[in-house]
Structure 1
Amino acid sequence: MNSIGHFVSNEHWPGTSGRLGDVINPATGEVISRVTLATKEDVDTVIGIAAKAAPGWAATPPAKRAAVMFNFRDLLKRHIEELAVMLSAEHGKTIPDAKGEIARGIEVVEFVCGVPQLLKGEYSEAVGQNVDSFSVRQPVGVIAGITPFNFPAMVPLWMYPVALATGNAFILKPSEKDPSVVMRIAELLAEAGLPEGVFNVVNGDKEAVDTLLDSPLIDAVSFVGSTTIGEYIYQRGTAAGKRVQALCGAKNHMVILPDADMEQVTDALIGSAYGSAGERCMAISVAVPVGEGTADRLIEALTPRIRALKVAPYTDPSSELGPVISKQSYDKIHDYIDQGINKGANLVVDGRGVELQGYENGYFIGGCLFDNVTTDMTIYREEIFGPVLSVVRAESYDQAVDMINDHEYGNGTAIFTRDGDAARDFWSRVKIGMVGVNVPIPVPVAYHSFGGWKRSLFGDHHLHGMEGVRFCTRLKTMTTRWPSGIRTGAEFNFTAGKDA
């Protein structure tokens, strides 16, 4: 059986731990490989290697760092088919989903290929008599990234290309549930010309995470995952004096106004609620139709589309909905569905009980649709992270906006309407980090930044874009004054034959 260790100094390293975790194919429930879970001593060893490599990489001209990123981009594009299959085998998502994820990661690599421009400082002449002032951005040092299972390629690629391009060393602690694609991409980064020790992957569990959070050699920590863990990482990391960004849970609403194109709304909800089996922090999990007529039309349009979703493993090219990641997630989603029924919500489409020949032990759940959900229900308040869409009927537009603003999460939201005035009022008033107008999953492109508000984000900086550059660098401002006057006899002209 395949054994997965760590990736350190541009090569695979088994570490010293005897502890192993199972990597499971969620379509079959079978163990397909085992991953080494690092000890504190293993992680400290890797941190020491990264800290030693960081100064030399920071001193490398930005244009040379960008050249590595150009090579890396080309390798990712060349190997996207291989990477997608590797990703789907451990996560379960469809091949088109996997390719789309990798493509969004490549966008960030392309963005940081322009890092010389991104790091340009500011200069002010004569801020005082013969006094000038200028600023630069310099790398923070060693950055750790802790990433989730649901986007094992994309989320890491939202972190470390920015960190590396701006001159930092990086240690990635990916999810132990689907680590193989991360390890393969690490090989490609080494092939692109990155010096040894600058980028490292350490596989592990809480012991590895706590070691990264506590080490005085780690200068910053970037995290994506659940709110409970994110808050823990933010508190422990900042208590240790680190810069921390923790992007966390979500409960994303889509408001549907009476004038919306219902066919467009239905297409948008099918993709945004059920794509990747609902296992993404930008999934639309709450539809808010305004008015009873709008709600009735929505349910009528959605119901047959959800029932027709093709549930199958990624090896089936016609698959639209793969398994969820684990038995634990499978059981948790079923518990949420039971709670919704018990609290009086109407389960219009029941995706439970999916049986696929040859995949009887897989973690498959079909699309589920609840109607008449109320804001006091657990299925409304909490993030389910599965293929479950709740419809909460709003009597008015203002009630819909208040509903979004009153929720503890503030990651993403969307409105579907033909009314430009309503759309502008919506994005202006909602207390949400990312807003879509007739766009169901408003994930910003790489040169803008990704992040939520409220309990969807702990820290001051969002991911990638200029916010990512700011997180990975420190601002330094210089004020200079030189003796006034020009020394007599000084030579200011080029001398023929010497300087030509």
Structure 2
Amino acid sequence: MIRDLTHFIAGKPHPGSSGAVGEVYDPNTGSVQARVPLASAQETREAIADAVEAQKAWAEWNPQRRARVLLAFLRLVESERAELARLLSAEHGKTVADADGDIQRGLEVVEFAAGIPHLLKGEFTDNAGTGIDVYSMRQPLGVVAGITPFNFPAMIPLWQAAPALACGNAFVLKPSERDPSVPVRLAELFLEAGLPPGVLNVVHGGKEAVDTLLTDSRVEAACFVGSTAIAEHVYTTATAHGKRAQCFGGAKNHLIVMPDADLGQATDALIGAGYGSAGERCMAISVAVPVGRATAEALRERLVSRIAELRVGRSDDQEADFGPLVGPDALERVRGYLDLGVAEGAELVVDGRSGTFPDGGFFIGPSLFDHVRPGMRIHREEIFGPVLSIVRADDYEQALRLPSEHEYGNGVAIFTRDGDTARDFTRRVNTGMVGVNVPIPVPVAYHSFGGWKRSMFGDLNQFGTDSIRFFTRTKTVTSRWPSGIREGASFTIPTMD
């Protein structure tokens, strides 16, 4: 039976009135499992209006009281975490274990945001001038919007919503219409945890809903994670309408394998980071860069051997290493890149299209290219599927240039036993996040996540202390309490004596 999903506005389900709907596939079978309403501009404006009113009272709650809502939310999510993971897996296609990790990384940011009483503390200078004190405070922006991708339907909404709410803002979430059920359930759990109705609204939709959030004057800021083309549109539109914007785009993450690296460890890292979640991660490693011919030949042999052992299966198959892609367009795109790579002259060592998969669904196996050159599109562009490319480097300096000169600068890793090499690499490489013998360098929640170059548009990163700066504005107060002494008017600029 096909389920009918809803928006979540003013603390209750909202069926939508636009008449437009999207289809939510079951990636395991290829069939439609649900219909999701797509909001019109007017419906989106109504959700914004509700958030505006709800935010006024929420902003007056003291930070500790808001933190208690986050803590209650954590307890509620834990109580039904297994069910949430199964729901996420069934709509996205990632394995249940991977879906649980999606939830966990989101909860870690909620835990960080629960420290908001400390994070909101401003600065204070006693007696900056005779009898004058100067102090600052961080205050919420008002209503902020989050536009999140399909590949992490729990983690990224929580990365955005948790600090935004903790700071006293109302949050309007526009999740991906491909896998929308978990974001709605998270909003329901926030309400059960004590969040006032309307402080977190969830609106499904396409470009019409997104552009309404970006242009409505009552929305003060916009967050986005997705493709670079859309990230640039979101950033340009939002900033043109006077909003703060924090937009994260595509990636082409490299893993440098030095001749002294532990090849077993490097191979394990490439297999997990390249093919986990079917490669549908912005931090997936999609380019292996072995340094030297001997390293390249040894690494290739190990990769081919390990790929042969991988199991592609249904997302609820506990033995599967990864499941299907999210939809038919994703499958078509990845297949097209395999054809493109061959046409460009790369060697398709392992063709993921030739595997044996469950009937139906959007399955494709792990693929491996070798002898990929930097000018090829399969190296320049983000494939977003289980495709790993080997780009051979003659020496360290050439390996360093590959990620540094790429248009994307999200993440990079180096595997080496040499501390000098690792230190030089981390200082010189032109990317935002770096791993040393760590294949997916996503920071812990109290640091900040963000790439460079065309992987990010905006000034501040996600989560960590950057998120508190993004979701608040600073007010600085200079204060003096006269003690009955009248000095008369002054016509010169005040200075601190």
TM-score normalised by L of structure 2: 0.96
Letter in structure 1 aligned against 2:238? G
Q: Which residue of 2 aligns with 1:491?
A: none
Letter in structure 2 aligned against 1:144? A
Q: Give yes or no for the alignment of 1:433 onto 2:432.
A: yes
- CA–CA distance in structure 2, aligned partners of residues 54 and 186 of structure 1: 15
- CA–CA distance in structure 2, aligned partners of residues 286 and 317 of structure 1: 28
Q: Which residue of 2 aligns with 1:340?
A: 341
1:142-180 per-residue CA deviation (whole Å, 9 max, x = no partner) reads 010000000011110100010000100000000000001
Deviation at residue 355 of structure 1 after TM alignment: 3.7
Tell whether the 8 Å contact from 1:23 to 1:177 is kept in structure 2 after alignment: yes
Instruction: Note the 1:335-414 alignment, pairs <5 A.
Output: 335-357=336-358, 359=359, 361-414=360-413
1:161-201 per-residue CA deviation (whole Å, 9 max, x = no partner) reads 10000100000000000001111111111110100110010
Unaligned runs of 5+ in 1: 487-500
Deviation at residue 485 of structure 1 after TM alignment: 6.9
Deviation at residue 356 of structure 1 after TM alignment: 2.8
- CA–CA distance in structure 2, aligned partners of residues 291 and 485 of structure 1: 80
Deviation at residue 113 of structure 1 after TM alignment: 1.0
- CA–CA distance in structure 1, aligned partners of residues 451 and 150 of structure 2: 19
1:14-65 per-residue CA deviation (whole Å, 9 max, x = no partner) reads 1211111100011111000100000111001000000111111111100000
Q: Which residue of 1 aligns with 2:87?
A: 86
- CA–CA distance in structure 1, aligned partners of residues 80 and 458 of structure 2: 35
1:71 alignment partner, SS class: helix
1:419-443 per-residue CA deviation (whole Å, 9 max, x = no partner) reads 0110010010011111000000000
Q: Which residue of 2 aligns with 1:422?
A: 421
2:363 alignment partner, SS class: coil
- CA–CA distance in structure 2, aligned partners of residues 471 and 121 of structure 1: 15
Q: Which runs of 4+ in 1 moved over 2 A?
A: 353-357
1:196-216 per-residue CA deviation (whole Å, 9 max, x = no partner) reads 110010011111001101100
Letter in structure 1 aligned against 2:442? V
Tell whether the 8 Å contact from 1:354 to 1:364 is kept in structure 2 after alignment: no
Deviation at residue 308 of structure 1 after TM alignment: 1.4
1:213 alignment partner, SS class: helix
Instruction: Note the 1:29-428 alignment, pairs <5 A.
Output: 29-357=30-358, 359=359, 361-428=360-427
Q: Output the aligned Cα RMSD.
A: 1.1
Deviation at residue 255 of structure 1 after TM alignment: 0.5
2:150 alignment partner, SS class: coil
- CA–CA distance in structure 2, aligned partners of residues 227 and 269 of structure 1: 24
Letter in structure 1 aligned against 2:416? T
- What is the total number of aligned residue pairs between the two structures? 485
1:365-398 per-residue CA deviation (whole Å, 9 max, x = no partner) reads 1000111100010100000000000000001101
- CA–CA distance in structure 2, aligned partners of residues 131 and 247 of structure 1: 43
Tell whether the 8 Å contact from 1:130 to 1:484 is kept in structure 2 after alignment: no
- CA–CA distance in structure 2, aligned partners of residues 222 and 395 of structure 1: 40
Q: Which residue of 2 aligns with 1:492?
A: none
Letter in structure 2 aligned against 1:208? A
1:244 alignment partner, SS class: strand
Letter in structure 1 aligned against 2:384? F
Q: Which residue of 1 aligns with 2:493?
A: none
Unaligned runs of 5+ in 2: 486-497
Deviation at residue 79 of structure 1 after TM alignment: 1.2
Q: Percent identity?
A: 57
- CA–CA distance in structure 1, aligned partners of residues 75 and 271 of structure 2: 33
- CA–CA distance in structure 1, aligned partners of residues 27 and 411 of structure 2: 28
TM-score normalised by L of structure 1: 0.96
Q: Which residue of 1 aligns with 2:6?
A: 5
Q: Which residue of 2 aligns with 1:447?
A: 446
1:125 alignment partner, SS class: strand
2:276 alignment partner, SS class: helix
